[in-house]
Amino acid sequence: MDVFDNVKKQVNKAGTIMGLDQEEKSLVLNPKRMLNVNFPVRMDSGKIRRFNGFRIQFNDARGPTKGGIRFHPDVDMGEVKSLAFWMTIKNAVADIPYGGAKGGVEVNPKDLSSAELERLSREYIKAIHEFIGPTKDIPAPDVYTNPQIMAWMTDEFEKIKGGHLPGVITGKPIELGGSRGRGIATAQGGAYVLRKYAEENDLDPNGICVAIQGFGNAGSFMAKILYEWGYNILAVSDSKGGIIDREGLDIPDLIKHKQKTGKVHGFANSKEITNEGLLESETDILVPAALENQITEKNAGNIKADLIVELANGPTTPEADEILNKKDITVIPDVLANAGGVTVSYFEWVQNNYGYYWTEEEVLKKLEAVMVSAYKNVKKTASENDTYLRNGAFILAIDRVLEAERLRGNI
């Protein structure tokens, strides 16, 4: 499946409600710049291996483009283009002054040594350095990349440019200009939106069951936050499979187990469950926090959750959206629910530009304000157009992007 087909369907849905003409749709759907680079990396064996890399800067009408870099064996141009588009929408939903971008390298980082991973990271930056910068395009971590990789990339960029430019990349270690709170930001932002939704719908966390697909950074932090708030985390999964315990998983102990064994399987008192079984489990809230296209027209009819909070990018297909909507299952869409990561990346960039850094308490307070405001605006837009939240988010964001394009004289 070409993930960008889903993007087109999402835009067409919102565009029909908005009454967009063909010129406006074309502007929204076509990226400004697409880079496909092929670069050499010397392996520990002494041999040279070449890698394919991508960087797509989708739209910069509202500011420099912003988006993560993922290292994954299945990365391709279609996926990166979709992710870059969603970043454009996400930044507009959060109302932060960025356009959208995304990047990736076709590689399984688990197959590389630490030294090879460092050389790969540096060579990728060498290949794209002319097209990024604090006022052009600002990368960040994504799937299978982390603060250490961002540190290598920042260092390589600064060596090329001959000066300190920490604002070129966010998601860096604190010691190199990273922001406090960045590591938990994606999950924390989603949790703030969930908390506001729960307040509005009189949901008491006690007794509410949550299933989380994906136990990486976003999924594990979401589990920890919701566990501490009193939710019952009954099931989680990772790339090796999942586990379930109807009595509720002890998340702090599970995190230790995962760190020790590298998987959630084998955790005390739990039963094994497949990723598919987790998605269709008897739960109140479902949190997809893995990869794209997890909830499709094939399994959407079997979803039993009353609420879905999307921490992953693009986990639900447009066809599945229609099925979920007919079943009265509320979906807090990815472009809202997981915007906490890019919001704190924006805070990091602001702090880098100022040379003045905030406490974690200040960061999280500012994050909550942004997320709650975005949720209210999306909900208001959806209500005004008699549609569900994803369409509300897209209408809100597309309108903001097109207004910026109009003011620039581009339409």
DSSP assignment string, 362-398: HHHHHHHHHHHHHHHHHHHHHHHTT--HHHHHHHHHH
User: Taking all residues of the chain, what is their mean pLDDT, rounded to a whole number?
Assistant: 96
Structure tokens at 153: 């990339």
Give me the pLDDT at residue 162, please.
97
Place of tokens 């870059």: 84
Q: Are 329 and 307 in contact (CB under 8 A)?
A: yes
Neighbours of 181 (CB within 10 A): 22
R_g of the chain computed on alpha carbons: 20
Structure tokens at 244: 């379930």
**3 state DSSP class of 50:** strand
Domains of the chain, first to last: 19-166 (3.40.50.10860), 185-332 (3.40.50.720)
The residue-averaged pLDDT of 16-38 equals 96
298 labelled catalytic:
no
* Catalytic residue selected from 81, 102, 172, 379: 102
241-244/307-309 β-pairing:
unpaired
The residue-averaged pLDDT of 103-126 equals 98
pLDDT of residue 245 exceeding 90, the answer is yes
pLDDT of residue 197 exceeding 90, the answer is yes
Q: pTM of the prediction? A: 0.94
pLDDT of residue 48 exceeding 90, the answer is yes
pLDDT tens digit sequence for 345-392:
999 999 999 999 999 999 999 999 999 999 999 999 999 999 999 999
pLDDT of residue 88 exceeding 60, the answer is yes
Q: What residues contact residue 19 under an 8 Å CB cut-off, 6+ apart? A: none
Give me the pLDDT at residue 3, please.
78
Query: Which of 268, 188, 174 shows the shortest CA–CA distance to 220?
Result: 188
Torsion of CA 138, 144, 149, 150, to 10 degrees: 20
Q: Are 289 and 312 in contact (CB under 8 A)?
A: yes
Give me the pLDDT at residue 291, please.
82
Place of tokens 């988010």: 393
Structure tokens at 329: 């299952």
Place of tokens 């998983």: 249
Neighbours of 366 (CB within 10 A): 17
Query: Which of 184, 98, 133, 167 shows the shortest CA–CA distance to 349?
Result: 167
- Tell me how long the chain is: 411
Structure tokens at 346: 């924006």
pLDDT tens digit sequence for 142-190:
989 999 999 999 999 999 999 999 999 999 999 999 999 999 999 999 9
Give me the pLDDT at residue 200, please.
96
- DSSP assignment of 291-304 equals -SS-B-TTTGGG--
Give me the pLDDT at residue 1, please.
54
